[in-house]
Structure 1
Amino acid sequence: MTGKKRYRKMLPAAVCIVGIIALVLLWENRLPEKSRKEPADHSGDAMAKEEQWETAETTPLGKYPETVEYSLGKISGANNSNLPVGDTYEDNAYTRYLRNVLNIQNENGFALEAGGSYEEALEAAISDRDIPDVMVVNGRDNLARLVESGMIADLTEVYEQCTTDTIKEMYSSYGDFLLDSATFEGRLYAFPNVEIDDGALMLWLRDDWIEKLDLEKPETMEEAMDVIKAFVENDVAGNGETVGLACSTGLIAGSNETYGVDTIFTKYGSAPENWILNDSGEVVYGSLTQETKEALGYLNELYESGVIDSRFLLRKTENIDELVTEGKCGAIFGRWWAPNNPLNASYDEDKTADWKPYFLTAEEENQIKTFASFDDWMYVVVRKGYEHPEIVGKYVSAIFDYSRYEDDQYAREVNEYFSINVDPTARPMNINVDYRDALYRSGENIRKALTNEISITQLSGLERSYYDTCRSFVEGNLTTANGWAAYTSRVTAVDTLVKGGIKEEELLFMGDVDAEIPQELQDLEQQTFLQIIVGEKPLDYFDTFVVEWYENGGQKLTDSVRKAYAETLK
């Protein structure tokens, strides 16, 4: 048969199927009634599945019987958010945990770094009325636009039904203003990000330099500045390269920046770049007060005496980083997390660099109330019409409550991300939810576990991760900069704040008003402050600056802010 093909004539498929069905029906009709197989009753399974769906849709941690997918607009981070090799924004510790616990999976509509690219994508999505199922929104103005346009879902019932009691306690720890910022006409339209209390700025000094020069450890601002002056005069770094207190040209670090001198302003009861209440209960811009003028006078004295780095006007942040890393600078102001950045690079370069935090309590007692700004606040919203708006409440409950106390493969993987410095932007939704005093709660628990005051079984997964790292560092089994940074930030720094008598700042809410300072006035302020500090302008020039500020739009802005605050009091 080689070289030949055998063909078999095929009947059309439809003819075959019809014939088979006919034969089956004929045969079944010939069978006795009792021999016929009754169709399987799956109604019980269907009811069980329906109950699963209902439970999932109305509870914080009920698992969906089938995978629920959602498109997502999110802010990404630099360097792929420091995710381990192989992990992506759609497949990482967070998404694997969420699949395991809730059976939800994100598909990114757009994942772009914060700034121009993300803002452009957000603006385009809103303008085209084509937003992802779930989206991170920057600023209350954008949130208000989405509410007014009817594009996002009402999440009031989602919050009530699908968040745990712990999550509700976390939001409540900020008072009413946080959820109020996402509420319109009595209805909640977004889950807001929280900003935990990071405590006051502390002065970080090279303690090994203090000991080398046989100096007394400082307890007041004046004593601390004398220590820094001694660093410079004795050229403790050598080769004439020792610089004084690191200082950025921005002057004010706020909650996120580095190398500010905010604490020196606080010493005088000043709060530049913030709207505050004066002694008369009137809203004023903190950069314009007489207390700010006094602080600028003191900064000028520090500059003239060599305490402040004499070349600070010429340095960018990366230049100061190099000075710290190379051991040429031994004094910076920073928050509790300064050991993670920038001091870890200093320790990595020189293990004898013994940076210690000093909380100058007397100066911090002059801290005054400032208004919270929602200009850069983040919110998570859900597209109106999306079938499962409840996934936002479930996500928050699983990631910020349940995972912290679970002890399985997926939860451990989530908590390990903290110890390997994966950026929070790796999470599907770029918000954080925690208690306002979360820093002090976790710091105390870690310290007590290290001193055997409590069992490690009482620690959350996150705390256990830090505890393991800190214990390894203390016992000498971990000598890396990350180990030093974990212990110095989470134990040494937090303990310093607690012993110094931490004072939780009371936040104020000024209502719906654009209180952002125009760039022209920001530039005027920065230029004036720097000129006074380095002596290019006399201190009394500050009074001229205040007049110019009000005349160039500042008075109109102040009036609108005062009016908005008055409305909130009603």
Structure 2
Amino acid sequence: MKTTRSIAIVVLLSIMIMSLLSACSGNGDNKPGSSDTPQANEGESGSKDAQVADPLGKFDPPIEVTVIRPYDENTKFVEGDSAEDNEWTRAYAERLGINVKFKWTLQGGGYTEKLNVSIASDDLADIMVVNSSQLNQMAEAGQLADLKESFDLQATEFVKEQFNADGGISLKSATFDGKLLGIPRIGSDIDEVPLLWVRMDWLKKLNLPEPKTIADVLAISKAFTNNDPDGNNKADTYGMALSKDLNGGFPGFEGFLNGYHAQFNMWIKDESGQIVNSNIQPEMKTALAELQRMYKDKEIDREFGTKDGNKVAEQVTSGKIGMYYGLMWTPLWPLQGGKDLDPGMEWKSFPLPSIDGTQAKAQIPFPVGQYYVVRKDAAHPEAAVKMLNLFFDTSFDKGTELDTYGTTPDGIEAFKHAIIAGAPMTSNMDKYKQISYALDNNNDLSQMKDYIKTDFAAVKSYLDGDPKGWGMYNVFGKGSSFSVIEKYVAEDVLLRSEFFGAPTPTMVEKNSTLESLLKETFTKIIMGGASIDEFDKFTKNWKKLGGDQITKEVNEWYAKQD
């Protein structure tokens, strides 16, 4: 069975790249632009200078690059294609003159562990896909090429625009002592903000107002639990969803915490300007106390501590839960499944209600989890940037060959085969705006980019009577999740972590222990296995077991930022 996280990733990628959404070794050690760079053949590719200057120019003669990369467990290929030979490897060869040779690939779990062995033994490829800890480790070991010059000279203007949409934070996260040692796999952080989702047919049946405050949320939760909203004369419904993971895209408790001005796993500024960890602040204790009360009153499933997101999804689709906090994509999964089973089921997203008159700020996690790195002695580091350019050009800027390089007519997610990928940081908001424009202007598609048209068709199909488009409509249509996110942006109520660097030394050593302590303690408190005052003991233990040292390291990092 898929994990909730893997489902979330698949859904996000599918949304981000039109129901679509790692340099290299040559034949020597020459650097681009040096006097010893091999001459380009005369003809289509032009001179060596033009070759360097053209962001999508073709290496001539061709070069070979070796690659280490993962494939997720759901990756499939067009018949006759494979991980080593597919539409993207052929595009790199035919369009860029880059012949890809895979050192190794791995589909499914175990990639991080296997790559750790390769890093430790210095058995590297030209291009590799790494996480932030591995990036930091390889940077400290001097194993990586500086990509700054290549990016500055070779990235297309479109790519540069996308990578600077967050003020350059993503690029800063891969920059060490002025050297760009990795290309972040960027995406849209605003896609990761929590929303409140309420089952509206139950709300109307019980004659309850739409939620504007935490008091409203608690009243709805109580009514959904006690007032038989499904009409079966059984006490078998729950006011709010929670899973054993506590946090996540579906369901997650971050939005509930944010309503109490608490945040989960964030680094925030205190009144003195110091960076502190959100998990140990007094607002967290207040929110946990209310969750404990809700659990005691059976508004939260008594067995949530044994259920992952998939199990909770089954409860939602079968009509047993009436409210949850989750991300913008949840109408696609799991809500569409519930709608298919019960056409009368209706859900709506709301901005986060607050415990007081102060607007709740919706927390946003740092959006970069992967980096594309190039080994230090690679002959052509600019090749990685060219591959990045090709993905963004094909998928977003022009977006005219999506049947081949995005999602094929047979449903093969070809975009997953690209070695270097990502998405514009505003891609889904742009999609919502363009779809809204078309809906308001007699389906005018003249301003709509091609990668958006498939999702527009799904939205339009729902409006024309096809219930299968309900989920897409509730992501991108009128009154959808992105209408709420647009409101967040307009009102500037988004909260980003003050720390976005690589894990500090003590984080690497202690984070797993601290995360286990947190999940164990918070779950115990919510389920009534410990008094709410256990939170004070947790805070002391967190600080003693490495939290104080991590906080010191985070503030030292922060002091060095521009």
Q: Same fold (TM over 0.5)?
A: yes
Counterpart position of 2:431: 442
Asked if 1:315 is matched to 2:307, the reply is yes
Asked if 1:536 is matched to 2:525, the reply is no
Counterpart position of 2:102: 108
**Counterparts of 1:469 and 1:505 in 2: how far apart (Å)?**
32
Q: Could you say if the C-alpha distance between residues 160 and 473 of structure 1 is closer, same or farther in structure 2, counting changes exceeding 3 Å? A: same
Contact 2:241 2:321 in 1 (8 A): yes
Q: Could you say if the C-alpha distance between residues 280 and 46 of structure 1 is closer, same or farther in structure 2, counting changes exceeding 3 Å? A: closer
**1:464, distance to aligned residue in structure 2 (A):** 1.7
Counterpart position of 1:526: 519
**1:510, distance to aligned residue in structure 2 (A):** 6.2
**Counterparts of 2:492 and 2:80 in 1: how far apart (Å)?**
42
Bigger-Rg structure (1/2): 1
Paired amino acid for 1:60: P
Deviates more, 1:339-348 or 1:160-169: 339-348
Counterpart position of 2:20: none
**Counterparts of 1:95 and 1:352 in 2: how far apart (Å)?**
47
**1:152, distance to aligned residue in structure 2 (A):** 3.2
Asked if 1:289 is matched to 2:285, the reply is no
Counterpart position of 1:226: 219
**1:85, distance to aligned residue in structure 2 (A):** 5.3
**1:249, distance to aligned residue in structure 2 (A):** 2.6
**Counterparts of 2:199 and 2:409 in 1: how far apart (Å)?**
27
Asked if 1:174 is matched to 2:169, the reply is no
Q: Could you say if the C-alpha distance between residues 421 and 366 of structure 1 is closer, same or farther in structure 2, counting changes exceeding 3 Å? A: farther
| Correspondent of 2:83 among 85, 89, 103 | 89
Counterpart position of 2:505: 514
**Counterparts of 1:246 and 1:567 in 2: how far apart (Å)?**
41
Q: Could you say if the C-alpha distance between residues 454 and 382 of structure 1 is closer, same or farther in structure 2, counting changes exceeding 3 Å? A: farther
**1:511, distance to aligned residue in structure 2 (A):** 5.1
**1:86, distance to aligned residue in structure 2 (A):** 5.1
**Counterparts of 1:544 and 1:342 in 2: how far apart (Å)?**
37
Paired amino acid for 2:499: F
Asked if 1:427 is matched to 2:410, the reply is no
**1:131, distance to aligned residue in structure 2 (A):** 1.6
Counterpart position of 1:468: 457
**1:199, distance to aligned residue in structure 2 (A):** 5.1
Contact 2:59 2:97 in 1 (8 A): yes
**Counterparts of 1:511 and 1:166 in 2: how far apart (Å)?**
25
Q: Deviations over 1:158-177 (max 9, x none)?
A: 11222111211111122233
Counterpart position of 1:459: 448
Q: How does 1:369-518 map to 2 (within 5 A)?
A: 372=366, 377-406=369-398, 408=400, 410-416=401-407, 420=411, 422=413, 425-429=416-420, 431-435=421-425, 437-452=426-441, 455-476=444-465, 478-480=466-468, 483-491=469-477, 492-499=480-487, 501=491, 503-509=493-499, 513-514=504-505, 516=507, 517-518=510-511
Counterpart position of 2:542: 549
Local SS of the residue matching 1:561: helix
Counterpart position of 1:354: 346
Q: Deviations over 1:113-165 (max 9, x none)?
A: 465x21233123223333222211112x4224434544433322211222111
Local SS of the residue matching 2:245: coil
Q: Could you say if the C-alpha distance between residues 68 and 356 of structure 1 is closer, same or farther in structure 2, counting changes exceeding 3 Å? A: farther
Percent identity reads 28
Counterpart position of 2:33: none
Contact 2:130 2:373 in 1 (8 A): yes
Q: Could you say if the C-alpha distance between residues 235 and 420 of structure 1 is closer, same or farther in structure 2, counting changes exceeding 3 Å? A: farther
Asked if 1:242 is matched to 2:232, the reply is no
Q: Could you say if the C-alpha distance between residues 365 and 114 of structure 1 is closer, same or farther in structure 2, counting changes exceeding 3 Å? A: farther
Local SS of the residue matching 1:47: coil
**1:335, distance to aligned residue in structure 2 (A):** 0.8
**Counterparts of 2:150 and 2:448 in 1: how far apart (Å)?**
29
**1:93, distance to aligned residue in structure 2 (A):** 4.9
Counterpart position of 2:199: 206
Runs of at least 5 residues in structure 1 that lack an aligned partner in the other structure: 1-43
**1:568, distance to aligned residue in structure 2 (A):** 3.6
Q: Deviations over 1:55-75 (max 9, x none)?
A: 344321223456554322112
Q: Deviations over 1:530-554 (max 9, x none)?
A: 2322333222332222223223333
**Counterparts of 2:217 and 2:524 in 1: how far apart (Å)?**
24
**Counterparts of 2:71 and 2:403 in 1: how far apart (Å)?**
23
Q: Could you say if the C-alpha distance between residues 227 and 331 of structure 1 is closer, same or farther in structure 2, counting changes exceeding 3 Å? A: same
Paired amino acid for 2:103: G
**1:326, distance to aligned residue in structure 2 (A):** 1.9
Asked if 1:63 is matched to 2:63, the reply is no
**Counterparts of 2:353 and 2:238 in 1: how far apart (Å)?**
26
Q: Deviations over 1:78-124 (max 9, x none)?
A: 12x25555553344454455555435453332222465x21233123
Local SS of the residue matching 1:214: coil
Q: Could you say if the C-alpha distance between residues 174 and 418 of structure 1 is closer, same or farther in structure 2, counting changes exceeding 3 Å? A: farther
Q: Could you say if the C-alpha distance between residues 64 and 557 of structure 1 is closer, same or farther in structure 2, counting changes exceeding 3 Å? A: closer
Q: Deviations over 1:190-217 (max 9, x none)?
A: 2112241225311212222223333333
**Counterparts of 2:222 and 2:140 in 1: how far apart (Å)?**
57
Local SS of the residue matching 2:65: strand
Runs of at least 5 residues in structure 2 that lack an aligned partner in the other structure: 1-38
**Counterparts of 1:344 and 1:69 in 2: how far apart (Å)?**
45
Contact 2:318 2:338 in 1 (8 A): yes
Local SS of the residue matching 2:105: strand
Local SS of the residue matching 1:456: coil
Q: Could you say if the C-alpha distance between residues 159 and 353 of structure 1 is closer, same or farther in structure 2, counting changes exceeding 3 Å? A: same
Count of matched residue positions in the alignment of Structure 1 and Structure 2: 512
Contact 2:186 2:367 in 1 (8 A): no
Paired amino acid for 1:470: V
Normalised by the length of structure 2, the TM-score is 0.81
**Counterparts of 2:331 and 2:414 in 1: how far apart (Å)?**
16
Q: Could you say if the C-alpha distance between residues 203 and 369 of structure 1 is closer, same or farther in structure 2, counting changes exceeding 3 Å? A: closer
Q: Could you say if the C-alpha distance between residues 260 and 423 of structure 1 is closer, same or farther in structure 2, counting changes exceeding 3 Å? A: farther
Contact 2:268 2:277 in 1 (8 A): yes
Contact 1:275 1:370 in 2 (8 A): no
**Counterparts of 1:543 and 1:307 in 2: how far apart (Å)?**
25
